[in-house]
Amino acid sequence: MVAGERDRPDVARRRAQWTKYQGRVEAERLVFIDETWTRTDMAPLRGWAPRGQRLPAKVPHGRWKTMTFLAALRHDRIDAPWFIEGPIDGASFRAYVEKVLLPTLRPGDVVVMDNLGSHKGKVVRQLIRSAGTKLFFLPKYSPDLNPIEQLFAKLKHLLRKAAARTVDTVCTAIAEVLDAFTPEECANYLRNSGYRS
């Protein structure tokens, strides 16, 4: 399923413009930034059991913690990973950009983000551009154009399997899971979203 808002003329026009542009940029220059949530009550969504039997899974009920994982996806790696306890806000995103992301950026990079309010702050835009990089925002309602969404889907699947139940074990599980993403897989995420290599 996709958002019905994609049919709005302004969104459809912006998506068409982006699709034209994405073929002109070398994948090696692209840096996709985003965040995703994780919780201490995550469990696999599916499993196998003998026919006619239920597959029980235990998760904490009513007492779990939510954390945020931020990262940058490049054509050959995951860069600038950062893990915080709690949800993201403007101040924590600005701190991420300043302390974690900026040291990884090179002049000529093209940073791409979605339209989350914390991404669009004036200080955030200035910080990113101060590294000699360009900054673009994806069209609204277009997660299909952001390859990091595919990475986060796999990350969450692997975290569900890990069934970590504390903030520290979730952080450790993320660190271990990041090794599962090969350069070829990162390149495939970009290709699958329409970016040329």
CA 193 to chain centre: 13
**Domain harbouring 180, CATH code:** 3.30.420.10
Does residue 10 form part of some domain? no
Percentage of the residues of the chain whose pLDDT score is greater than 70: 99
Residue 89: predicted pLDDT = 92
Q: Is residue 146 part of a domain?
A: yes
The whole-number average pLDDT for the span 177-196 is 94
Query: Which spans in 83-130 are helix H?
Result: 90-96, 122-130
Host domain of residue 175: 25-35+64-193
Strands 110-113 and 30-39: parallel
Here the tokens at position 11 are 């969104």
112 confidence band (pLDDT: 50, 70, 90):
very high
How high does pLDDT run on average in the chain? Answer: 92
Mean pLDDT of 45-68: 83
On whether residue 58 sits in a domain, the answer given is no
Residue 20 resides in a domain: no
User: What's residue 190's pLDDT?
Assistant: 96
Number of domains in the chain: 1
Confidence check: pLDDT of 63 > 80: no
Residue 85: its pLDDT value, please? 93
Q: Residue 8: inside a domain, yes or no?
A: no
Query: Tokens standing for 50?
Result: 């003998």
Task: Decide if 42 is inside a domain.
Answer: no
